Amino acid sequence: MPPFRDDQLFIIAPGSETTLAQLGLPESFTPARYHVRSRMFPAENPGEFEPVKIRRKEKPAVNGAAGEEQPKPQEDGETEWEEDHISEEGAIWPIRNGQIVDWPCFYALMTHVFNTVNPPFHTPVLLISEPVWATKEHEKVTQFFFEKFKVPAFTMVDAAMAASYAYGVTTATIVDVGHTKADVTCVVESMLHDVGRGIAVPGCGGEALTERLWQVLKGRSGFSREMCEQLKKSNICEILPSDVEQPGDESAIADDANPAAAASTGEGQRKPSGAAGDLPKGPGEGTQAGEEKKLEDDEGVLDIASIVTGGNMGDYLAQKEREKQEKAATKQKKGSDAGQQANRPMKLPNNKRTRNTFVYEDFALHEAMKKAGMSDQKMADMQSAMDEGPNKRQKTPEPQGAPSEKPADGGVDGQQQEEPPSPAGPSPSGGFRREIEVGPERFQAATSAGGQPSILDRLADTIHRTVQSCPDINRRSDLWDSLIILGNGSHVRGFKEALLETLQKKFIISPSSATIFTSELPSNMSTPMATGANTPQPQYPGQHQQQQQHQGVNPMLLAATTAQHQHLQQQQPNQGSLPPQQQMQMQMQHHSLHSSHAQTPTSIKLAKIPDYFPEWKETGYDEATFLGAQVAAKVLFVVDAGASKAYMSRTDYNEQGPGGIHEVML
């Protein structure tokens, strides 16, 4: 009988940005049930931490006052405090680049995760360790879990080994692309090779993609780095193959224009004349009415200072309401015209469109309005004005500031449930959503800049060095044919395909090339001549007879195939009649028949993920490391009933101490 059941297993995967956790294994493995932001906030007492930021509660403005007219906080009386689940200002991140940089904060984070899940007492823990962790860090984490939570059993699994468990392979090259770094590991026959391993390679994570987008978009007025981060996570950010051209400005199509703006300003009906009567009515640039003061530019970037501190809230709401009415009128007019409906152009895919829009969740505006003392009613009106029809149904990325500590099935497990939205509009608990328009810059996340190699080139070079450092030379071709690319940093559309294409262009050789046989030449074969034949060597009397028998055959191909297959080799003379030096050479040739073209790969392929996890298939396998941890926990704690002894029990910890974790961890 196994010592533990499926519903007792507790899995934790600490990360630089998000920590994954789950209690119990369902019949069909599912993605992690808890996603907790990997940051804590300083508490009131020094050395203590809180999972949520505590801030001073701002008094709402009176009669719509804003800016200098806001009432000052009362100096007398008790100060009111509130929890801020959105802002991450002043947060402490204990894990950076996979390395634990703040141990007290890390312990507080693990305690918060443990208390959030609230497992029972008899719960074994499996923790996914980062490749950059040293032996001392493994021991400190083991000691903390045994002494703090009194767990009955504990073990660690390396992130690369967990990925191989998820894919069900024993030999693979694992490329884990994280937030600011990437890890490249070779696993051969379920043995992890530390020699030449690419650990925490800087500049190869998802942050490098955001930085590149910020470089090409920071020239736009009002465009922030947070917008670039959410653009990277949207479905319009894409890495195109090298044979696909990026759409240029000259290929812009008419449906990219705003029909409501065209209907209101008369754009598209202008005549080539400078007379005032020939100009459209406006308002807007180049119209009779002239350009009005705009709080939002043509690409959806807001002037936050004008809205919050300038008292322009009413103007902005009126502007959004007018745009809604114009769009509705234009849509109704188009729907009544059957001929125009039939001639409507087809919707182009993202890589064919010059410009496209994504939904941006603006937490900066929400924070500014809250600090300005805006009432909940005004914030609700603002959010209702921005959340237009299509945006309400569109899935937006998870807020960066809001921790997701709720189960995936919608339950809360002891957490306070969210209050229903008020009748006045949606609850302003999150950021304000609005559409932002982006041009071809959304395809340049992985391009090079300033003569520096791109993230794809850096990753490709790291993968090549790691595979070439594998001591088992004959298995290097298998490592190239089983490439696993995972991690949230690789979630951008087209990233994996682009990395595979980069590897194939830089390192692969054609199988038709005769150079692949040079490594298979026996030691008794001389250098080939220009005629395609070899000069026979006198010390090998049987070689001339072999060349006479195989006239017209490629000598490299013949030597390579006969060296690999003993039954194709010609009868060699009796070794007893040869000098001792020639006998030793023939023995060395017999034991070194095949080198598997270890220097350069002839093929590079991605490993195939098992398709018998339907829940994982729906969400994607970017977090497949957690899936591998689920498989490992099932095998180590339940299936083999503890026979493999791949975990430390409480008795083992009392006898061996924290150092015993090195004997059991994978």
* Nearest C-alpha neighbor of 665 from the set 279, 157, 47: 157
Read off the DSSP letter of residue 117: H
Q: What angle do CA 44, 45, 48 make, to 5 degrees?
A: 100
Q: What angle do CA 522, 525, 528 make, to 5 degrees?
A: 125
Which is more confident, 156 or 263? Answer: 156
Distance CA 315, CA 513 (A): 70
pLDDT one-digit tens code per residue, 449-459:
877 888 899 99
pLDDT one-digit tens code per residue, 48-72:
888 888 776 766 555 444 444 444 5
Tell me, what's the pLDDT at 35? 92
Work out the pLDDT band at 508, boundaries 50, 70, 90: confident
pLDDT one-digit tens code per residue, 409-438:
433 333 333 333 333 333 344 667 778 888
Tell me, what's the pLDDT at 160? 92
Which is more confident, 3 or 300? Answer: 3
pLDDT one-digit tens code per residue, 19-33:
999 998 888 888 989
- Cβ atoms within 10 A of the Cβ of 25, count? 20
pLDDT one-digit tens code per residue, 311-326:
555 666 667 666 766 6
- In order of start, what are the domains of the chain with their CATH numbers? 6-39+93-168+610-663 (3.30.420.40)
Strands in 61-124 per DSSP E: 81-84, 95-96, 99-100
Distance CA 254, CA 267 (A): 12
44-58, 220-234, 478-492, 644-658: least confident range: 44-58
Helices (H), 337-386: 338-342, 363-371, 376-386
Distance CA 312, CA 339 (A): 42
Helices (H), 372-494: 376-386, 389-393, 455-468, 476-480
The answer to whether the CB of 246 falls within 8 A of the CB of 441 is no
Tell me, what's the pLDDT at 72? 52
pLDDT one-digit tens code per residue, 93-115:
999 998 999 999 999 999 999 99
Coil, strand or helix: which one is 450? coil
Per-residue pLDDT at 397 exceeds 50: no
Q: Per DSSP, what are the bridge partners of residue 82?
A: 55
Q: Pairing between strand 81-84 and 41-42?
A: unpaired
Distance CA 301, CA 316 (A): 13
Per-residue pLDDT at 360 exceeds 70: yes
* Torsion sign (Cα): 274, 276, 280, 286: positive
Single-letter amino acid code for the residue at 106: F
The answer to whether the CB of 270 falls within 8 A of the CB of 280 is yes
Tell me, what's the pLDDT at 438? 85
Coil, strand or helix: which one is 490? helix
68-96 residues labelled b (16+ CB within 10 A) or e (exposed) = eebeeeeeeeeeeeeebebbbeebbbbbe
Q: Please state the φ and ψ torsions of residue 508, each to the nearest 5 degrees.
A: -80, 150
pLDDT one-digit tens code per residue, 628-658:
999 999 888 888 766 777 888 888 889 888 8
Which is more confident, 171 or 61? Answer: 171
Per-residue pLDDT at 308 exceeds 50: yes
Cis peptide before 283 (omega within 30 of 0): yes
Tell me, what's the pLDDT at 270? 40
Work out the pLDDT band at 223, boundaries 50, 70, 90: confident
Single-letter amino acid code for the residue at 177: V
The number of C-alpha atoms within 13 Å of 15 and in the hemisphere containing its C-beta is: 24
Tell me, what's the pLDDT at 104? 93
- Cβ atoms within 10 A of the Cβ of 462, count? 19
Mean pLDDT in residue range 591-595: 45
Per-residue pLDDT at 660 exceeds 60: yes
* Nearest C-alpha neighbor of 384 from the set 294, 310, 316: 316
Tell me, what's the pLDDT at 11? 93
In the chain, the percentage of residues whose pLDDT exceeds 70 is 57
Query: What's the 3-state SS for 95-106?
Result: EECCEECCHHHH
Work out the pLDDT band at 329, boundaries 50, 70, 90: low
User: Hunting for tokens 């008790």 — which residue is that?
Assistant: 78
88-92, 239-243, 333-337, 565-569: least confident range: 565-569
The number of C-alpha atoms within 13 Å of 119 and in the hemisphere containing its C-beta is: 26
246-250, 263-267, 543-547: least confident range: 263-267
Helical pair 624-633 and 159-167, crossing angle rounded to 10 deg: 80
Tell me, what's the pLDDT at 331? 60
Work out the pLDDT band at 88, boundaries 50, 70, 90: confident
